[in-house]
Every structure is written in structure tokens, then in C-alpha cells.
Amino acid sequence: MKILVPSGQTEDLVRFAEVEEPAPQPNQAVIAVEAFSVNRGEMFLLMKPREGLRPGKDIAGRIVAAAADGTGPAVGTRVVAHPPYGGWAERAAVDTADIVALPDG
């Protein structure tokens, strides 16, 4: 799966990397990320990134795997979410408490 990670460069701050698919905990759903925002805090982190940084705290997309414990939205639901990290990826595992279903329309 592709994810954006810090490049360590001063001009091109991020690069694509290949990582394993997310392995969700029972209370996490997997979201196919369709959009994300870049917030100011993440920009500061990219200036001097720590080892292993995976940015991405504000995402929108669709549930592709519902939480095993039965909480959260069903597969196919359009959602917004606030994971602690890793949202600049094709898919993200997110606690269902941090996911909100979007209304139709």
C-alpha cells in the first residue's frame, strides 16, 4: 500500500513509500482514504521529522472493513475520521470512536 512519508529534504517534504496494509484492532475500521487535509502541525513536523513519522490526522473516505467488535459504520459508509497518525495513505485503520458517518447529499 502507498503512503506519504517525510523525505528528509527541504524542498520536497514528502515521498511515496510502500508499507503493509493496516492491521486493525477489534475496535478499528479500515477506511479507503479519498481525501485528507494538511494541517499546520503536520507541516511543522515535516520540517524536522522524527524517525518513523507517518503524517495524516484528518481524512475522509469509505469504510472498506468494519470493526470486528461491531462498533462504528458499516462497509461502504462515507466517513470523516481523525486518526492519531498515518492518514496520508491509501487505507487507514481508525478507532471507531474517531469516525463520523457523512450524511447523504
* Domain layout of the chain by residue ranges: 2-101
How do residues 50-59 score in pLDDT, each as one tens digit? Answer: 888 999 999 9
d(CA 77, CA 48): 36
Angle at 21 between CA 6 and CA 96, to 5 degrees: 95
Nearest CA-CA partner of 92 in 100, 102, 84 = 84
Checking if the pLDDT of 2 tops 90, the result is yes
Hunting for cell 512519508 — which residue is that?
5
The CATH classification number of 2-101 equals 3.90.180.10
Distance CA 91, CA 70 (A): 19
**Confidence category of residue 47, pLDDT binned at 50, 70, 90:** confident
